[in-house]
Structure 1
Amino acid sequence: MRISVSARRPLAFVVALLVVAAGAFATTISPTPAEAAGTQQMWRMYNPNSGEHFYTANVAERNQLCNAGWSPEGVGWVAPTGGVPVYRLYNNPKRGSGTVGDHHYTMNPYERDMLIRAGWRYEGVGWRSGGRVPLYRQYNPHVNSKRHSGAHNYTTNYAENASLVRAGWRAEGVGWYAVRAGYKAKSCTPRKTSRPKTVNWRAASGRQPNLSRYRGLGVVVNISHQKVFIQSHGRTIYTMTASTGMNNSTPRGRYTIRYRGTHFYNPSERMGGDYWVGFIGTTYLFHSVPTGVSMGSYIPSEGAKLGRPASHGCVRLSVSDAQWFYRSVPDGTPVTIL
């Protein structure tokens, strides 16, 4: 789950419990200088505001969460690079629902398919299961009661498992198996960030091309660079500065341009936008920097965020680029979000 540290804090006793449990977890076993070939470290991260633990073998993803305010808790376990797949899914809450998202991990393909049918987003194979060290699974449906969300916890530390069960967490058996138990390890530290460069949120990003002269059009959104590329047969012909969703809320994948309009307003977010173009129905859109209720009533403080993640999942563009995109990019154009 991608939750900013500005979210409301969970119940104090849960935070305290997890801190104590994490301390027990961290001393499970001493680290080795390097893991054996055919294995990988699984990093364990904790969001102190939502109560979720997140697990990843991807160091770049670990560092991204660290810089977003998640707490690193060392190596959760050592996984094999081959074996039974463990599937990763994400439940992205509806806007304005008052809930937070949650990741779920399972080796069961039937459980995976059931969650996909229920609307969870499938994020592929997270890692592999294999070995003799069990990962105990617990669930607390009220870990963040103020945000109406529960969370799972996975640990190789039986003492941590028992401590959580005594505190009211539901024991759900063994989730999967590891080659080696977790251990305390040097992880990430938030890097110092410089003040982002201000972008002119009214102006075009450059010379806007006449798309009627091109064939094989495609749109590519690069989340890490906060850019939107207009391409012709795979060659970039125009680049726009953008703002995608906070906390990775813009869904990655392949989509198609459908629907458009000149203005919308979302009362639950108290913001709207001009020149919108849908790429997942009318839920996820390309649109201008945010407006108030009426068309053209742009919000300067939101416009100043252009060039860094700021939306709730849509892709924001400058006013000029949004208007050009609305008028120029035809329905049926493929969209790839990386």
Structure 2
Amino acid sequence: MRRTITKHAFVVIAVMAAFMAVLLSPIPQASADEGSRDMYRLYNPNSGEHFYTADSNERDHLTGVGWVYEGIGWRAPVQSSVPVYRLYNSNAGDHHYTLNSYERDMLVSKGWRYEGIGWYSSDTNRSYPLYRQYNPNAKAGAHNYTLNSNEKDMLVRAGWHDEGLAWYGVGPGEGAPVPQYQRPSGGTYPNLSVTPNLSINVSIADQRVYVKSGSNVIYTLIASTGVNNATPRGTFRIGNRGSSFYNAREGMGANYWVAFEPTNTYLFHSVPTNSSGQYIVSEGYKLGQPASHGCVRLSIPDAQWFYQQLPSGTVVHIF
């Protein structure tokens, strides 16, 4: 049977041939890598896109609106003779990166927006190759770029196309630290059930919760109180508690809530969850600054600790 090669296939073959010609061309003798810079990797849980940037302000903006920071993907040279071009498809909401100027120009002719040089590929270092994979079923996040050959192989087994080498870095990646809202504020928790003269101080100025035994602070928690001074001041006592709630009017809920009386309207609880019970990443990153409707938000394990151990009747001072 004769196999017919489509026009689309010819375009793909031509692009990949040009791409590999650029990648495998002799190293320019007059150029050398200059310095290194961290390349940040982020993930959009709504679209499935991975995004890569050297700009920490861009990284912080995206994490603030719900993207997940996945750490340093690799280190790129600050300057070299081989630029990596960045493009954006506003219809699909997808970015693409290539060191192939032919591929760049073809995508621009198809309506993609050229956003300039994103970073550079190494002129001389071949120790840190970035692999490129393509998902033919995806609209956004159709390409993935990684130093990790195991990640590449996993995606290929799942149906992604292996498109070979993308470019070269000059240093390894580094995983993201666990976000503050997912970890304890200060290490090992004391046992509150046996703590003498236990009380809780909530400092709105500090955005901290101080667990005290008598006059001694035995643990400090990072918190978020209410915006526009919505958290009440005064002296209260710990009352009811529950594993979770959802407020449809506010469009969010939380886990591990502990109420303080006499209001029983305001709570200690985890960072917010959505209607599906998933933690809202953009809200989680607000921990440590006023962000709530009046309750006192805590990290997930801190809230769970309070829920499990904070005795009913414990005095709470909010000031």
Instruction: Establish whether TM, by shorter chain, passes 0.5.
Output: no
Q: TM-score, normalised by structure 1?
A: 0.42
Give the number of the structure whose alpha-carbon radius of gyration is greater.
2
